[in-house]
Structure 1
């Protein structure tokens, strides 16, 4: 699984994308509201772990996650 942090512009907030190994979009959510999207993707129990990574991840960088 891959995680990408996307910088928002003007009124558009920052977003996070979670993608599988084939780079198919699994979840797309605002940095300040991850719960609903992560629950839908079946990752609700890993919300704290994912959000700690998001806080440290620079914008535009792709990081491989091993969940």
Structure 2
């Protein structure tokens, strides 16, 4: 799975995109509200690990996330 952190501008908040190996969009959620999106994908139990990774991730960088 790949992860991209997108910087928001003005009133638009920061977002995160989760994409699969074929780069198909799996989830698109606000950095401050990941709960429902991660649960839908079945990653509710790994939310803390994923969010700590996201918080350290620079904006605009595509990074492979191994879960």
TM-score (norm 2): 0.96
Aligned length, in residue pairs: 67
Which runs of 5 or more residues in structure 1 are unaligned? none
TM-score (norm 1): 0.96
Q: Does 1:15 pair with 2:15?
A: yes
- 1:65: how far off? 0.9
The answer to whether the aligner puts 1:33 opposite 2:33 as a matched pair is yes
CA RMSD, aligned part only? 0.6
Deviations 1:17-46, CA, capped at 9 Å, x for gaps: 000000001111100000111001111111
Ranges of 4+ aligned residues in structure 1 off by more than 4 Å: none
The answer for unaligned runs of 5 or more in structure 2 is none
